[in-house]
Chains A and B, each alone.
Chain A
Amino acid sequence: MKEEIENLQEEIIEEVLYILPIKSLLRFKCVSKRWRSLISSKRFAKEHLKKKSSTSTNDSDFSRRTLYSFYRWHNYCGSDSVGSIFHLGQCNLPSETTTTETSSSFNLQSLTAATLSIDSISIVLYGSCNGLILFSMLHLVNSLLIWNPATRQAKKLPPPYLLSQGMWPSCFFHGIGYDESTDDYKVVNISKDFSPYHYQTHI
């Protein structure tokens, strides 16, 4: 019996990796530099998302569960709403996207599943796309965050332009979407008192 499968061609290995859950993939970044750069590449992430979206798997289930738990929290805490808006979209299932839109903010005791271990903090959820969740801390709206529950990685975005200029529009919303023409995710910010603008971010 062969102990090493030396000639298992790279493309076949790649096909196998696409099937693996994210937890295994992130661990296998440690296998070699070649594996790390393959697994970290944008092309790989897109292909992986495509395969995962077309089949019902643990990863997309996980994202959905996370969104549902956000949603449940919202329902539970809905009574002490302060009137912000968030959109709950299950955009990780492209063909059968269902979007629940509701009007409230909610409190989250802690994001236990995340690496963000924040206790007793108010979270405003703005939207989600392909399993990414866009949110901010209440009263700290200049710190927008994008969280990927599947990789448990979060990224802090630069503050919106107006806020960085010291201006505070009376009301503003954020959303996240995927822009095919630039192959990137875009966060769109619309404010009431000023003209809409957007900025781009890399995930």
Chain B
Amino acid sequence: MAAETGTPTTLTLKSNDDELFSVAESAAILSVTIRNMVEDGCAGGVIPLDNVDGKTLASVITYMNGISAIPADEEKKKSYRDKFLSDKDFETLADMVLAANYLNMSCLMDAVSAKIAQVMEKKSVGWVRRKFGIENDYTPEEEAAVKEEHKWTFEGVETDDDN
């Protein structure tokens, strides 16, 4: 492994829309998926990441580089993650959680999930349906009945910001 030889090794990652990215192996192996490839000796050429597009992969690599530059200090890592995610919109976060899942990066996965939950917390039912692409399969009567059951949870909901 690179850390033992002392020579920084660079990996080449390819997104599903054929963009190529160079990233230090020491940063890339934050992804268990990539680390397994490196350990199995199949990271020599270009590593194709079929489930991640270029825009998302660029973000993930920014994160990999940023977080691996921070020494083992959980507080600093946390504040880096918070800052990194602070300006991301829902669509970007959703792409990132899928990428983090595919790449098996639990620290990014947890941070993005928590951020998505934070964004969702005060949103309306309609907002959630639109963002998650969920079809409302209730009849109006059924929906009113479910709503009536937990009426108090509809207090303090934010006005939708997506239309």
Q: Do A and B bind? A: yes
Taking Cβ atoms with an 8 Å cutoff, the residues of A that contact B are: 1-9, 12-13, 15-17, 19-21, 23-24, 26-36, 115, 151-152
Also in contact, A32 and B135, with CB within 8 A (given A5-B91, A20-B117, A23-B153): yes
Also in contact, A21 and B147, with CB within 8 A (given A7-B98, A8-B98): no
Also in contact, A36 and B146, with CB within 8 A (given A15-B113, A31-B128): yes
Also in contact, A12 and B125, with CB within 8 A (given A4-B132, A29-B146): no
A31 close to B129 (CB less than 8 A): yes
Interface residues of B in 107-163 (CB under 8 A from A): 109, 113-114, 116-117, 120-122, 125, 128-138, 143, 146-147, 149-150, 152-154, 157
**Given A4-B130, A12-B97, A16-B113, 12 additional A-B pairs, CB 8 A:** A3-B131, A5-B94, A7-B98, A8-B97, A19-B114, A27-B125, A31-B125, A32-B129, A32-B135, A32-B137, A34-B137, A36-B146
Also in contact, A12 and B132, with CB within 8 A (given A5-B94, A21-B121): no
A30 close to B146 (CB less than 8 A): yes
A26 close to B150 (CB less than 8 A): yes
Binary CB contact string for chain B from 84 to 115 against chain A (1 if under 8 A, 0 otherwise): 00000111001101100100000001000110
Distance in angstroms between the alpha carbons of A109 and B133 in the assembled complex: 46
Taking Cβ atoms with an 8 Å cutoff, the residues of B that contact A are: 89-91, 94-95, 97-98, 101, 109, 113-114, 116-117, 120-122, 125, 128-138, 143, 146-147, 149-150, 152-154, 157
Interface of B, helix, strand, loop or mixed by DSSP = helix
A12 close to B146 (CB less than 8 A): no
A5 close to B113 (CB less than 8 A): no
A12 close to B98 (CB less than 8 A): yes
Distance in angstroms between the alpha carbons of A8 and B147 in the assembled complex: 25
Q: Given the complex, which residues of B lie within 8 Å of A16, measured CB to CB?
A: 97, 113, 116-117, 120
Chain B residue nearest in CB terms to A7: B98
A4 close to B137 (CB less than 8 A): no
Also in contact, A12 and B113, with CB within 8 A (given A5-B91, A27-B157): yes
Quote the shortest CB–CB distance from B150 to chain A (angstroms): 4
Also in contact, A30 and B130, with CB within 8 A (given A7-B98, A16-B120): no
Quote the shortest CB–CB distance from B14 to chain A (angstroms): 20
| 5 closest A-B pairs by CB | A4-B133, A19-B117, A27-B153, A26-B150, A5-B94
Distance in angstroms between the alpha carbons of A178 and B97 in the assembled complex: 35
